[in-house]
Structure 1
Amino acid sequence: MTAYGLLFSGVLRRLDPERAHRLAFGLIRAAGRVPGPRAVVRAAYAPAHPELRVSAFGLDLPGPFGLAAGFDKNAVGVGPLAALGFDFVEIGTVTARPQPGNPRPRLFRLPADRALVNRMGFNNEGADAVAARLAGLAGPRPVVGVNIGKSKVVPESEAAADYAAATARLAAHADYLVVNVSSPNTPGLRDLQAADRLRPLLAAVRAAADRATPDRRVPLLVKIAPDLADEDIDAVADLSVDLGLDGIIATNTTIARDGLASEPAAVEAAGAGGLSGAPLRARSLAVLRRLYARAGGRLSLVGVGGIETADDAWDRLLAGATLVQGYSGFIYAGPSWARAIHRGLAERLAASPYATLADAVGAGARAGARHDSAGASPETGKDRSA
């Protein structure tokens, strides 16, 4: 067992998950403030793989693997997280107004499924505080995405104005913006994914971003739920193309609880909220494939949900994702996780017929092949389930 595995099983797993998160994140941030340990962390956990460099929505990144929103809600650890090897860091979800989120406990582990259940409720310090923190980042920084959501106290009829207010404060400090309309933990939020309601909201955010950054165009993406019906996925893809969005993130957490290995009592005890981690893998991959079939080449797609291994990340690239993200896998695998993903992707690229990572993006979809985590891969001829 690794050192992190011992820490997780011996200490972190015995703590309330939210408290364990604060402790682990605090250690990451502390190490990032000390020059000696910071240099050691960079050397140990962020080895260079220049062959993995990638471009997405006008941005050049050192690789395709980033940390999803939710881990660093308030942009307090961007540098230290990048030092662990993440190619980009998405912070948030940030709302226009500060809010405490839902009552605790609100974060739960399902270790038998390598999954998490959360009903955090967009707890964050608000757009003003986060914008000030991003503005104060010193020296070179990684690519930073800013994920924005609706303030809970704002009625749905005023959602577009609320998102625009957050955008006005944050756009200048974001390398890209993400409109989150897919968390299950803010009442009514997912209703905003309907195309007729999403159109004016996205238009308002685009206009606010353009006003806030007249000298550059901030890329704009939307993050969708895995629980959308296929026709609604198609509608969001069509709308995104029509509005000139830069991409779609697929997917957020799910409200489904099908096929879990955890004891029913443990699932019931976790209660309502969004399920993330390994059980989300198949559905998130299916949504990504549908988006690529509908809008591949016209939008950049970001695959997230159930990504634990380099095989998982490679499958998303072949299915059409330009970038991939993870969160729950980080909790279970620890600080060496990004390094392992990079190493595995580099190995898979070298063994494939593709000269660059960009060549691999969507190759499986274009060939009409399925690339599930179990079974033979036409790119390598190897059975990855072995």
Structure 2
Amino acid sequence: MSNLLLYQLAKPFLFKMDPEAAHHLIIDGMGAAAKIPGMPAMLSATWGTKATPELAVDLFGLHFHHPIGLAAGLDKNAKAVTGLSRVGLSFMEVGTVTPKGQAGNEQPRLFRLPPDEALINRMGFNNDGADVMAERLAKLGRRRIPLAVNIGKNKLTPNENAADDYRECVLKLFPYGDFFVVNISSPNTPDLRALQHGDELRGLLDAVKDEMEKQATSRGELPKPILVKVAPDNSEEQLAYMAEAIQLSGMSGIIATNTTIGRDGLTHGNAGETGGLSGRPLTKRSTEVVRSLYAMTNGKLPIIGSGGIFTAADAYEKIKAGASLVEVYTAMIYKGPGLLKELHKGLLRLLKQDGYTRITQAVGADHR
């Protein structure tokens, strides 16, 4: 029985459930299953992908077996790291985490749009807090894949004090992340996106970098890479400013993009729900942002492409537009973890078709 078929059998049951309840069932279930002797190896045997030299990427001082990782939001509290690291991902993000735990927005706050292959969420950074995440990650020991910690500010923290929240997350979680992601682009925390622009952006990024260097120095280690996650709902002028600020602040890269507040072309009744839209409707726009940022930075600032990746062709388009790595999320909800083997196999085929021997040769190919 194929991996995709296994998930398709379970999907009708999961899709009859409330979306957030189904989400917790999967994440809590994977967290519990990973503690059963032999279960992690079984997950690897069922869903895992083989390390393939042609698809390997070395970036940020880290090794990725292939370019496909998991975006933030699925494992907000680092409950299922062991299980998710066995299903074929080459890296994953946990979070978004804030210094203090918070409940997030009122429910319902997660909505499926099946005919549009999309999700709308207005979760509002619901999470257990940095201390709880640190405790969980401390118990894991050595991990199989690189782990990114996605950090944000608490809802009640005013923007003028936002830097303190991001600093606190770095302070508490420095030992446990292989790299960090500054989330200033969720549409579900009031005024958060204002931090993407003007002096607020430079000040915030300088503060995060300063805290990272402090933590590294105090431990006799090198600073961890820091990436910035941007929204798709920016003009070219805004993107150009952000790209310049991110480079000048010494950040290691950009994740493009977060969810969109746009609603073009949707057909499902949930289209009117407020929140961030992810999935298929975001495919084209997120690739456009990758392409613009690559050109604006002359290909010198690594980009992780995220948004609407459902097929190998979707992933490959982002890579040719300038992404060194890519992330999935919504497609995992609709297609299950078998998606990863499908993308892995498809990328190998597309590489061969274009005459490349390594995936890194295809990065930014559209610009040459």
| Pairwise same-fold verdict (TM > 0.5) | yes
Tell me the CA shift for residue 97 of structure 1: 1.1
1:174-323 to 2 correspondence within 5 Å?
A: 174-214=177-217, 215-262=221-268, 265-268=269-272, 271-323=273-325
TM-score for both structures, normalised by structure 2:
0.95
Q: What are the superposed Cα offsets for residues 165-206 of structure 1, whole Å, 9 maximum, x if unpaired?
A: 111111221111110000000000001000321001001011
Q: What are the superposed Cα offsets for residues 221-275 of structure 1, whole Å, 9 maximum, x if unpaired?
A: 100000011101011111111111110000000001111132xx4322xx11000
Does residue 118 of structure 2 align to residue 115 of structure 1? Answer: yes
162-171 or 108-117, larger mean C-alpha shift: 162-171
Q: What are the superposed Cα offsets for residues 306-327 of structure 1, whole Å, 9 maximum, x if unpaired?
A: 0111111111111100000010
CA distance in 2, matches of 1:365, 1:32: 43
Q: What are the superposed Cα offsets for residues 304-359 of structure 1, whole Å, 9 maximum, x if unpaired?
A: 00011111111111110000001000000012111111111122122222221111
Tell me the CA shift for residue 31 of structure 1: 3.1
Let me know the Cα RMSD of the aligned residues: 1.3
Please state whether the residue corresponding to 2:175 is helix, strand or coil: helix
Does residue 77 of structure 2 align to residue 91 of structure 1? Answer: no
Q: Is the 8 A contact 1:296 1:320 kept in 2?
A: no
> What is the percentage of aligned positions where both structures have the same residue?
47
Tell me the CA shift for residue 67 of structure 1: 0.4
Match of 1:25 among 27, 34, 52: 27
Q: Is the 8 A contact 2:28 2:79 kept in 1?
A: no
Residue 12 of structure 1 aligns with an amino acid whose one-letter code is L
Please state whether the residue corresponding to 1:66 is helix, strand or coil: strand
CA distance in 2, matches of 1:310, 1:79: 25
Tell me the CA shift for residue 297 of structure 1: 2.8
TM-score for both structures, normalised by structure 1:
0.91
Q: Is the 8 A contact 1:241 1:298 kept in 2?
A: no
Residue 245 of structure 2 aligns with an amino acid whose one-letter code is L
CA distance in 2, matches of 1:242, 1:156: 21
Match of 1:16 in 2: 18
Match of 2:69 in 1: 66
Q: Is the 8 A contact 1:225 1:254 kept in 2?
A: yes
Q: How many residues align?
A: 361
Match of 1:382 in 2: none
127-136 or 83-92, larger mean C-alpha shift: 127-136
Tell me the CA shift for residue 150 of structure 1: 0.9
CA distance in 1, matches of 2:166, 2:141: 27
Runs of 4+, deviation exceeding 3 Å: none
Match of 1:369 in 2: none
Residue 333 of structure 1 aligns with an amino acid whose one-letter code is K
